[in-house]
Amino acid sequence: MSSVTTQPDLATLLSNLPGMVYRCRNDAQWTMEIVSDGCLELTGHPSSALLFNRDVAYADLIHVDDRDRVWDEVQAALADRRPFRLLYRLVTATAQDKWV
């Protein structure tokens, strides 16, 4: 069962989807409100660690050289009410860079 603070049907759906699925706030830490168990494979952190920034904030996982660009591009897309697609690096729990 994923670390989801929502209805059981959504938790079941998220646990069956590949990859990391999440819903985050539009704040400087990208606070995760829902995080699927795919988080562990991608980041090396269990989903519970990212949920509401318990142990680590998603913003801290974004490579330092990509953080400002990710923030700026997301904010611009939201302001324009348009979809967006980003390519950036995450730094895993074992200090590996992964492109997402």
**pLDDT tens string 17-74:** 667 888 999 999 999 999 988 899 999 999 999 999 999 999 999 999 999 999 999 9
**pLDDT value of position 72:** 98
Provide the pLDDT confidence category of residue 10 given band limits of 50, 70 and 90.
Answer: low
Element of type H or E holding 61: helix 58-61
Residue 89 DSSP SS3:
strand
Each domain of the chain, given as residue ranges in start order, spans 8-99
pTM of the model: 0.82
* Strand pairing class (89-91; 32-35): unpaired
What is the CATH architecture assignment of 8-99?
2-Layer Sandwich (3.30)
Rg of the chain over CA atoms, in angstroms?
Answer: 13
The stretch 63-91 carries a mean pLDDT of 97
pLDDT at position 14, please? 62
